[in-house]
Structure 1
Amino acid sequence: MRFKNKQTGPSMPSIDLIPMLNVMMAVLAFFVMLTTTLTNEQGVDIQLPNSSGEEETETQQEPQDSLVVKLNPEGQIVIQEQTLTSEQLVGQIKAYLQQNDKGTVQLVADPQAPYEKVVQLLGEMKAVGSDRVSLGIEGD
């Protein structure tokens, strides 16, 4: 009596992908966490004015001489209706601060001006004027 061979042919090996996907997700999560903790945000430290009534009356009583630098919506630098480049602005700020010992420089940016340009310009001005540079707003 002959026995029949139950095996019909070579079977295909199967690869289980679930453990490999688990490892890949763990590695991906590790690198995502690593990149979020190693990023260095670039910015300029500024002191925002307080809104208390006492400080407002003090500043109104003793007006300070200040150079007003305006930034229009197109990102152009304007001083006294004259458009300047960044290099010209730095020269004017240096000259102004040397002439006026207690003078300050204010950057008044249009709300539509590019934020990156405001931060860049404020950083350049702060490099020249140190603690005598501030960010201002236009009053109505």
Structure 2
Amino acid sequence: MAFGRLERTRTDAPMSDINVTPLVDVMLVLLVIFILTAPLLTSAIRLDLPKAESAQAGEAPLAVTLVVDGQGQIYLNDKSILLPELATQLKAVASHRPDTEVQLRADQSVPYGRVVEVMGAAQKAGLSRIGFVADAPVAMPAR
């Protein structure tokens, strides 16, 4: 070392790798959001279906879903509809495919007369295959 000269230390080369940790963090957060919201997208109409023991129903080749909620409001394939409009929509479905099955989901608090009105509209339209959807009963623990 000479007088007045300082030693120079070699500096490290700049890092040229991509840091993927923030990308992985963002992707995991999005994955959790999709996992939490996916079950909410299946059916937005909340019903208290009656309980019944039965065998699992087979899938119909083509089916439309009719829902009658607790207030008596009718939904065709998760879209609100009035009874006169329901008849015309079901007639259009029956003219296209007469073997279409109607899957009827009715809240257990709905008066029976309202359910019969909806069934009558389906039968007048020419759809005679009507299936009632119910929840399986909750099993009681053995004592």
**TM-score of the superposed pair, with normalisation by structure 1:** 0.50
2:112 is aligned with 1:115? yes
Shift in alpha-carbon separation, 1:116–1:101, aligned structure 2, 3 A? closer
Q: How many residues align?
A: 84
In the TM superposition, structure 1's runs of 4+ consecutive aligned residues that sit over 6 Å from their partners are none
Paired with 2:123 and 2:95, the residues of 1 have a C-alpha distance of 15
1:127 has 2:124 as partner: yes
Does residue 137 (structure 1) correspond to residue 133 (structure 2)? The answer is yes
Note if contact 1:66-1:104 (Cα within 8 Å) is conserved in structure 2: yes
Aligned match of 1:84 in 81, 87, 90? 81
Name the CA distance, whole Å, in 2 between partners of 1:115 and 1:77.
14
- Equivalent residue of 2:67, what SS? strand
Distance in structure 2 (CA, Å) of the matches to 1:130 and 1:137: 17
The runs of 5 or more residues in structure 1 that have no matched partner are 1-49
Give yes or no for contact 1:69–1:107 (8 Å, CA) kept in 2.
yes
Aligned partner of 1:71 among 59, 68, 74:
68
TM-score, structure 2 length as denominator? 0.49
* 2:119 counterpart SS class: helix
% of aligned pairs identical?
25
Indicate the residue corresponding to 1:105 in structure 2.
Answer: 102
| Aligned amino acid, residue 76 of structure 2 | I
The question of whether the paired residues in 2 share the 8 Å contact of 1:97 and 1:104 is answered with: no
Q: 1:99 to 1:139 in 2, by over 3 A?
A: farther
Provide closer, same or farther for how the CA distance between residues 118 and 129 of structure 1 changes in structure 2, counting only shifts above 3 A: same
Say which SS state the counterpart of residue 74 (structure 1) adopts: coil
CA distance in structure 2 between the partners assigned to 1:128 and 1:74 by the alignment: 24
